[in-house]
Amino acid sequence: MNKYRSVGLAVAGVFLLTALVGMCVSSKVRAGEKDVIDDWVAAWNSHDPDAVVAVFSRDAVYEDVPLGLLNHGTDEIRAFAEFFFTASPDLNIKLVRSHLEDGHGTIEWVFSGTDVGIFGTGKRYSVRGVTVLDVHHGKITRNLDYYDFATILRELGQL
Protein backbone atom coordinates (compact mmCIF):
# COMPACT_ATOMS: atom_id res chain seq x y z
CA MET A 1 0.00 0.00 0.00
CA ASN A 2 2.86 2.42 0.86
CA LYS A 3 4.48 1.73 -2.49
CA TYR A 4 1.32 2.80 -4.36
CA ARG A 5 0.83 5.78 -2.09
CA SER A 6 4.38 6.95 -2.80
CA VAL A 7 3.81 6.60 -6.54
CA GLY A 8 0.49 8.45 -6.20
CA LEU A 9 2.14 11.29 -4.31
CA ALA A 10 4.93 11.48 -6.88
CA VAL A 11 2.40 11.65 -9.75
CA ALA A 12 0.37 14.28 -7.89
CA GLY A 13 3.56 16.28 -7.35
CA VAL A 14 4.40 16.16 -11.07
CA PHE A 15 0.88 17.33 -11.95
CA LEU A 16 1.09 20.16 -9.40
CA LEU A 17 4.50 21.25 -10.67
CA THR A 18 3.23 21.17 -14.28
CA ALA A 19 0.20 23.25 -13.32
CA LEU A 20 2.36 25.83 -11.51
CA VAL A 21 4.75 26.14 -14.45
CA GLY A 22 1.78 26.50 -16.79
CA MET A 23 0.31 29.24 -14.62
CA CYS A 24 3.60 31.12 -14.62
CA VAL A 25 3.87 30.90 -18.40
CA SER A 26 0.22 31.97 -18.77
CA SER A 27 0.64 34.95 -16.49
CA LYS A 28 3.71 36.05 -18.46
CA VAL A 29 1.75 35.88 -21.72
CA ARG A 30 -1.15 37.75 -20.16
CA ALA A 31 1.19 40.36 -18.72
CA GLY A 32 2.71 40.92 -22.17
CA GLU A 33 -0.72 41.13 -23.73
CA LYS A 34 -1.83 43.56 -21.01
CA ASP A 35 1.15 45.73 -21.94
CA VAL A 36 -0.25 46.09 -25.47
CA ILE A 37 -3.56 47.35 -24.07
CA ASP A 38 -1.86 49.72 -21.63
CA ASP A 39 0.36 50.99 -24.46
CA TRP A 40 -2.71 51.55 -26.70
CA VAL A 41 -4.46 53.63 -24.01
CA ALA A 42 -1.28 55.56 -23.17
CA ALA A 43 -0.56 56.25 -26.84
CA TRP A 44 -3.98 57.81 -27.44
CA ASN A 45 -3.72 59.82 -24.22
CA SER A 46 -0.23 61.04 -25.19
CA HIS A 47 -1.64 62.98 -28.18
CA ASP A 48 1.44 61.83 -30.10
CA PRO A 49 0.66 60.23 -33.48
CA ASP A 50 4.03 58.45 -33.46
CA ALA A 51 3.17 56.85 -30.10
CA VAL A 52 -0.12 55.62 -31.57
CA VAL A 53 1.60 54.20 -34.64
CA ALA A 54 4.20 52.45 -32.45
CA VAL A 55 1.62 50.00 -31.06
CA PHE A 56 0.56 48.83 -34.54
CA SER A 57 2.19 46.54 -37.07
CA ARG A 58 3.19 48.20 -40.37
CA ASP A 59 0.31 46.52 -42.21
CA ALA A 60 -2.32 46.98 -39.48
CA VAL A 61 -5.94 47.77 -40.24
CA TYR A 62 -7.70 50.35 -38.06
CA GLU A 63 -11.42 50.83 -38.58
CA ASP A 64 -13.61 53.43 -36.90
CA VAL A 65 -16.89 51.61 -37.62
CA PRO A 66 -19.40 54.39 -36.74
CA LEU A 67 -17.60 56.94 -38.93
CA GLY A 68 -16.90 54.44 -41.70
CA LEU A 69 -13.18 55.23 -41.65
CA LEU A 70 -10.88 52.41 -42.72
CA ASN A 71 -7.14 52.95 -42.32
CA HIS A 72 -4.53 50.59 -43.79
CA GLY A 73 -0.95 50.72 -42.57
CA THR A 74 0.88 53.05 -40.25
CA ASP A 75 0.82 56.11 -42.55
CA GLU A 76 -2.98 56.12 -42.63
CA ILE A 77 -3.19 55.33 -38.91
CA ARG A 78 -0.86 58.28 -38.19
CA ALA A 79 -3.09 60.60 -40.26
CA PHE A 80 -6.18 59.25 -38.45
CA ALA A 81 -4.57 59.96 -35.04
CA GLU A 82 -3.48 63.45 -36.15
CA PHE A 83 -7.07 64.20 -37.23
CA PHE A 84 -8.48 63.23 -33.82
CA PHE A 85 -5.77 65.09 -31.89
CA THR A 86 -6.57 68.23 -33.90
CA ALA A 87 -10.36 67.83 -33.81
CA SER A 88 -10.36 67.13 -30.06
CA PRO A 89 -7.11 68.41 -28.52
CA ASP A 90 -8.05 67.29 -25.01
CA LEU A 91 -9.06 63.80 -26.15
CA ASN A 92 -8.94 61.30 -23.31
CA ILE A 93 -9.48 57.57 -23.15
CA LYS A 94 -10.31 55.99 -19.83
CA LEU A 95 -9.88 52.23 -19.67
CA VAL A 96 -12.93 50.49 -18.20
CA ARG A 97 -11.90 46.85 -18.68
CA SER A 98 -10.09 44.71 -21.17
CA HIS A 99 -9.51 41.14 -22.16
CA LEU A 100 -6.84 39.80 -24.46
CA GLU A 101 -6.06 36.14 -24.90
CA ASP A 102 -4.35 34.21 -27.67
CA GLY A 103 -3.98 37.38 -29.74
CA HIS A 104 -7.65 38.42 -29.77
CA GLY A 105 -9.52 40.65 -27.36
CA THR A 106 -11.49 43.72 -26.43
CA ILE A 107 -10.88 47.05 -24.75
CA GLU A 108 -13.89 48.74 -23.16
CA TRP A 109 -13.33 52.47 -22.77
CA VAL A 110 -14.82 55.92 -22.28
CA PHE A 111 -13.71 58.43 -24.91
CA SER A 112 -14.14 62.11 -24.09
CA GLY A 113 -12.97 65.51 -25.20
CA THR A 114 -13.96 68.88 -26.58
CA ASP A 115 -15.16 69.31 -30.15
CA VAL A 116 -13.05 71.99 -31.82
CA GLY A 117 -12.64 70.44 -35.25
CA ILE A 118 -15.41 67.99 -36.09
CA PHE A 119 -18.31 70.44 -35.87
CA GLY A 120 -16.47 73.26 -34.10
CA THR A 121 -19.05 73.51 -31.30
CA GLY A 122 -16.56 73.91 -28.47
CA LYS A 123 -18.74 71.52 -26.44
CA ARG A 124 -17.58 68.54 -24.42
CA TYR A 125 -18.63 65.00 -25.22
CA SER A 126 -18.17 61.58 -23.66
CA VAL A 127 -19.08 58.20 -25.10
CA ARG A 128 -18.61 54.60 -24.05
CA GLY A 129 -17.25 52.19 -26.60
CA VAL A 130 -15.30 49.06 -27.28
CA THR A 131 -12.33 48.16 -29.43
CA VAL A 132 -12.00 44.68 -30.88
CA LEU A 133 -8.40 43.85 -31.68
CA ASP A 134 -5.98 41.25 -32.89
CA VAL A 135 -2.38 41.21 -31.69
CA HIS A 136 0.57 39.33 -33.21
CA HIS A 137 4.18 39.51 -31.98
CA GLY A 138 3.34 42.31 -29.54
CA LYS A 139 1.78 44.62 -32.16
CA ILE A 140 -1.84 45.34 -32.99
CA THR A 141 -2.68 44.04 -36.47
CA ARG A 142 -6.41 44.76 -36.49
CA ASN A 143 -8.35 47.40 -34.52
CA LEU A 144 -12.09 47.98 -34.84
CA ASP A 145 -13.74 50.73 -32.75
CA TYR A 146 -17.46 50.57 -31.96
CA TYR A 147 -19.38 53.35 -30.17
CA ASP A 148 -22.68 55.21 -30.42
CA PHE A 149 -21.95 58.25 -32.58
CA ALA A 150 -25.51 59.51 -31.96
CA THR A 151 -24.50 60.05 -28.31
CA ILE A 152 -21.70 62.38 -29.42
CA LEU A 153 -24.04 64.19 -31.83
CA ARG A 154 -26.62 64.74 -29.06
CA GLU A 155 -23.97 66.03 -26.63
CA LEU A 156 -22.68 68.44 -29.27
CA GLY A 157 -26.17 69.69 -30.05
CA GLN A 158 -26.11 68.26 -33.57
CA LEU A 159 -28.93 65.76 -33.09
Q: What is the pLDDT of residues 111-144, one digit of tens each?
A: 999 999 999 999 999 999 999 999 999 999 999 9
Report the CATH number that the domain containing residue 55 is assigned in CATH.
3.10.450.50
pLDDT band at 30 (very low <50, low <70, confident <90, very high): low
What burial class does residue 95 get, using C-beta atoms within 10 Å of its C-beta: 0-12 exposed, 13-18 middle, 19+ buried?
middle
Percentage of the chain beyond pLDDT 70 is 79
**Main-chain dihedrals φ then ψ at residue 78, nearest 5 degrees:** -60, -45
Q: Higher pLDDT residue, 1 or 140?
A: 140
Q: Give the neighbor-by-neighbor strand order of the sheet with 92-101.
A: 69-72, 56-64, 139-147, 124-136, 104-114, 92-101
| C-alpha–C-alpha distance, residues 38 and 87, integer Å | 23
| C-alpha–C-alpha distance, residues 93 and 46, integer Å | 10
SS3 17: helix
Whole-number pLDDT of residue 4: 45
Q: Higher pLDDT residue, 14 or 137?
A: 137
The domain tally of the chain equals 1
Neighbours of 19 (CB within 10 A): 10
Domain that holds residue 16: 2-155
| C-alpha–C-alpha distance, residues 64 and 107, integer Å | 14
Q: With 80 as the cut, is the pLDDT of residue 15 above it?
A: no
Q: 31-60, pLDDT tens digit by residue?
A: 566 799 999 999 999 999 999 999 999 999
Q: With 60 as the cut, is the pLDDT of residue 13 above it?
A: no
Pairing mode, strands 124-136 and 104-114: antiparallel
Q: 140-157, pLDDT tens digit by residue?
A: 999 999 999 999 999 999
Whole-number pLDDT of residue 14: 36
pLDDT band at 10 (very low <50, low <70, confident <90, very high): very low
Q: 85-109, pLDDT tens digit by residue?
A: 999 999 999 999 999 999 999 999 9
Whole-number pLDDT of residue 34: 73
